[in-house]
Amino acid sequence: MHIKAYRLQLRTGADISLHDVTAQLRSCVAESGIQNGFVTVTSQHTTTALAINENEPRLVEDVKAFLKRLIPSHDDYMHNDIHLRDCPPDEPQNAHSHLAAMLLGSSEVIALQAGALVLGQYQSVMLYELDGPRDRCVSVQVYGE
């Protein structure tokens, strides 16, 4: 078995934003030369998430609205008591972002067959920015033969 490692770097949008990383993953797979196996994709941050879903503009807006209703940023969270924590003075009040990331998950595993990601017709691998804008890093490992 062969293993090839890559890092995706991207600048995300403000607040909650979704970013399709499928094309970058396909480039990693092509560069790896691996034909059959699997790909792991992992966010390197505690206020981002990864999920497979449809990248359709109206659905993206629905996702953002849903997360804001489910985990409102203005609720009372202990993590947001910055003055009670040992952290930098510019630390954001972002407990809601951590909670959303925890619910969505930080990684995906995708099968690889004949040098292609095994995804359905409407499936894309999406990075969910939950506390942007920021510079973000996604770890990619391609495993197989």
CA distance 28 to 42: 14
pLDDT for position 132: 96
pLDDT range class, residue 145, cuts 50, 70, 90: very high
pLDDT for position 99: 98
Which residue type, as a one-letter code, is found at position 112?
A: L
Question: Residue 39 is encoded by which pair of tokens?
Answer: 């790909």
Least confident of 14-23, 50-59, 86-95, 114-123: 86-95
> pTM here?
0.94
Domains of the chain by start residue, with CATH = 2-144 (2.60.120.460)
Q: Strand 15-20 vs strand 124-132: parallel, antiparallel, or unpaired?
A: antiparallel
pLDDT for position 91: 87
- Are 139 and 106 spatial neighbours (Cβ–Cβ below 8 Å)? no
pLDDT for position 24: 98
Q: What is the pLDDT of residues 45-96, one digit of tens each?
A: 999 999 999 999 999 999 999 999 999 999 999 999 988 888 887 889 999 9
